[in-house]
Amino acid sequence: MKSNAQKLRDIIDSKEIIKVGGAFDAMSAKLVENSGFDAIWAGSFSISAINAVPDASILTMTEFFDAASKMVYACNIPVIADCDTGYGGPDNVRHLVKKYENAGIAGISIEDKVFPKQNSLLENASHDLLSEKDFVGKIIAATESKQNKNFMIIARVEALISGMGMDEALKRASAYEKAGADAILIHSKQKTPDEIFQFTESWDGKIPIVVVPTTYDSVKIDELISHKIKLVIYANQTLRASHAAMSTLLSKLVNAESIKEVNEMMSSMDEIFRLQSMYDIKTMEEKLDKKIRELGY
């Protein structure tokens, strides 16, 4: 059977651009899959948010891992896990690669910030970078620990976020590629894709470039393709749609005369039953009954 890491590699080799949809639990992951995305992003901002805790290394690796594992269990397309800073030093990275790979996760992303980190898009937050040397150590630890060569180690460069500038970003990206990273995620909090495109135009590495256009949300898919970007992560749109919809519904429902007033905002029970394979139980029960009867009972 093809591993999820192999599936991810195959998609990267065969498509112009890979669309990765953000998820935070098995249902959102399954909806990403059902909508036609290529892969799933188990993002730590969104997973922190559904736990109502800050995106600041408050949840532990165990909790992020459980969330990503449940997505793998529920879905057929590959899951890429956002592993923040790697939850410690090289020893922690080794441990996590073994755990995540064993669980059928297709790849991970680790970023070159200092632990504990804060969300990259938060204003006035501290976004201190780890030294290049120390992060290279984590990349080496990660690549050495993987057993399937297709398990993807994405090195996330936070130099533009932290204000260290383009040269630092390019220098680090090259260093991480040399250290064995399988892809570079270059992150930006600008409202336009200008610095991202400046990066990709200067970049002469061989490994794929990944972007997360949360803030430069008007960038067009064709522009990403023409700038040699291979994976685009829609990291938190599902979360924000869910939050918006529930907020609106609840503020109406709390004062509604009856539930009927909010009916048009909701999926039917039937749609949820289908998502959770509720009807398959019936089918499987019938098949099982048939087999049991065939055995003479």
CA torsion 201-204-210-215 (nearest 10°) is -30
**28 has which bridge partners?**
none
Is 192 one of the binding residues for a copy of itself (CB under 8 A)?
no
**Three-point CA angle 120, 167, 191, nearest 5°:** 40
Considering the complex, what minimum distance in angstroms separates the CB of residue 75 from a copy of itself? 8
Report the residue number, 63 or 195, with the smaller CB distance to a copy of itself: 63
The region of 8-16, 125-133, 194-202, 203-211 touching a copy of itself under the rule CB under 8 A is 125-133
Is 9 one of the binding residues for a copy of itself (CB under 8 A)?
no
The region of 7-15, 149-157, 203-211, 275-283 touching a copy of itself under the rule CB under 8 A is 275-283
Judged by CB under 8 A, the residue of 8, 74, 108, 155 near a copy of itself is 74
Judged by CB under 8 A, the residue of 6, 7, 17, 118 near a copy of itself is 118
Judged by CB under 8 A, the residue of 8, 29, 153, 229 near a copy of itself is 29
Considering the complex, what minimum distance in angstroms separates the CB of residue 204 from a copy of itself? 18
Long-range contacts of 171-179 (CB under 8 A, 24+ apart): 171/132, 172/112, 172/132, 172/135, 173/199, 173/203, 173/205, 174/205, 175/132, 175/136, 176/112, 176/135, 176/136, 176/139, 177/205, 177/206, 177/207, 178/136, 179/136, 179/139, 179/140, 179/143, 179/155
Number of residues that bind a copy of itself (CB under 8 A): 121
Considering the complex, what minimum distance in angstroms separates the CB of residue 152 from a copy of itself? 18
Q: What is the Cα–Cα distance from 141 to 21, expressed in whole angstroms?
A: 28
Is 17 one of the binding residues for a copy of itself (CB under 8 A)?
no
Judged by CB under 8 A, the residue of 6, 7, 17, 104 near a copy of itself is 104
Active site residue 280: no
Site for a copy of itself in 212-241 (CB under 8 A): 213-214, 217-222, 234, 236-241
Is 204 one of the binding residues for a copy of itself (CB under 8 A)?
no
Report the residue number, 109 or 238, with the smaller CB distance to a copy of itself: 238
Catalytic residues: 55
